[in-house]
Amino acid sequence: MAKNHDSLAKEIIEKLGGPANISRIFHCATRLRVQLVNRDAADLEEVKKIAGVMGAIDSVGGVQVIIGNDVNKVFDAALALYPDMERGENTDENLDENTDEKQNIFSKLLNVLSSLIGPAIPLIMVSGLLTAVLTILTKWAGLSAESTTYTILNVAANCALYFLPIYIAYTAAKKFGTDVMISLFIGAFMIHPEIIGLGDQGAFVSLFGLPVKTANYTSTLIPIILSIWALKYVEKLSAKIVPDSIKFVFRPFLTVLLMIPLTLCVTGPIGSYCGDLLNTVMTSINSVAPWASVLVIGCLAPLLVLTGMHFALIPLVFMEFATVGYDNMLFNAFIGMNFSQFGVALAAFLKTKNPNLKELAGSCAVTAFLAGVTEPTLYGICLRMKKPLYATWIACIANAVFCAIFGVKVFSFGAPSFFTMPIFMNPDGTMSNFYLAIAAAALTIAVAFAATWILGFDDSVYGKEN
């Protein structure tokens, strides 16, 4: 059934209080994300009833309307109908503070992490897939590790993580309202080879007598986030000190001059120590009970996705890749989350006689299996009929137990799906972990399918007309 994206966008905006009530609008893979001026003016229950909307939830940083694979078309239609909403990219820098006024500190933190990391994740996943492809080429296609082809592909595979501070500097500049070019400069400055090379001279060096903790800031998140947050206030200070008549050159000059010691002596080291602490905690847990982390995260996976809290775990994954070379707590746990949605959707597709649910479930099954995108099934099927959500939880727990027992690991960054299964291939050439990951996916699908079929569901919520 073809969708009228213009009418869908118009109806959503009207139910959210009209364009005047929307201060920022953007989208991710499946969700339309909206920040509202007045939350009370929006009626989420009415939004949920709109044909073409799979669900709507309050979340950190605003409201999320689940559309599915057509979200970009609805987003484009909304901006075409109400072009003034595009100003969300350039809203007042205090907007986020006003929007989040009623949120607790933890919610604000999740909002920041989501907005900063989210745009970079697709590129990081591409790098992860390139790493997996490189493993396949060297193992089965005879590609030599000494060849220039290998070198070039390896650089491409490592590029996103290596230069992560620069990418996060850009998203942080958008989030905190700082100068984009200065923010990128700081990100590049922190990972300059000679700054990294200072570590050869000891744990601390001197900058005009100030102690500088030497650290390798490549592939890190917290140091650059803290630095760009601090830049926001340094820029305000520079604006007060430097007269308007010479601001074009001397405000950036003063800002950079102040940010160099602030970054190397304060924000960078604080972020580095935070990362070291998190890494120590996770290393301790993994050394004592390596099964514990994946078991806990796997059991909580549906809740993490529903609330957007899974973004908060991404920094830990980066640290795992940087220190031990693999992830044994998040992406292996999400074998259960991603493949369970295929099992649920497939069971719903085969069991239902409702044409609306059958059409939705067929689309959801393909999306979850091939791309690892779970939101259409989670919001469009599980939350609407409830019992499939129980089936999801059962499958996630089954996968978590399996991964905990057999120690399944992920060697490249990526969300588990049919096309991304090579992320489970060990670079050393052994295949046991890859076969275990396939077994975990098969187990998850079987459990989710069986649980959905046995528990049943009420598909009357989808109506009867196609």
Q: Is the dihedral of CA 155, 158, 160, 161 positive or negative?
A: negative
Please indicate, yes or no, if residue 271 is contained in any of the structural domains. yes
Burial class (CB in 10 A: 0-12, 13-18, 19+), 194: exposed
Q: Check 28, 382, 396, 403 and give the catalytic one.
A: 28
Domain boundary among 238, 265, 282: 282
Domain shared by 173 and 214, yes or no: yes
Report the pLDDT value the prediction gives residue 98, as an integer from 0 to 100. Answer: 40
Residues 193 and 265 in one domain: yes
235 shares its domain with 328: no
Assess whether 362 and 378 both reside in one domain: yes
One-letter amino acid of 200: D
119 is a domain residue: no
Of 227, 308, 233, the closest CA to residue 260 belongs to 227
159 is catalytic: no
- Asked whether residue 358 falls in the same domain as residue 426, the answer is yes
Tell me, yes or no, whether 177 lies in a domain.
yes
Residue ending a domain, choose from 248, 282, 316 = 282
Count of domains for the chain = 3
Give all strands (DSSP E) within 18-88, no chain letters: 22-27, 31-36, 55-59, 62-66
Classify residue 143: in a domain, yes or no.
no
Nearest to 32 by CA among 125, 221, 15, 369: 15
Structural domain that includes position 431: 290-462
For position 106, what pLDDT does the model report? 54
Judge whether 144 lies within some domain. no
- Of 103, 123, 139, which marks where a domain is finished? 103
- Which residues have C-beta within 8 Å of that of residue 69, sequence separation ≥ 6? 30, 363, 367, 373, 376
In a domain, 133, yes or no: no
**Residue 392: predicted pLDDT:** 95
454 and 350 belong to one structural domain: yes
Per the domain annotation, does 126 fall within a domain? no
- CA–CA gap between residue 26 and residue 423 (Å, rounded): 30
Q: What are phi and psi of 43, to 5 degrees?
A: -115, 95
**HEC profile for 141-192?**
CCCCCCCHHHHHHHHHHHHHHHCHHHHHHHHHHHHHCCCHHHHHHHHHHHCC
End-to-end CA distance of the chain: 8
Residues of the chain with pLDDT under 70: 1-3, 29, 59-61, 86-111, 113-114, 118, 278-279, 282-283, 286, 290, 307-312, 463-466
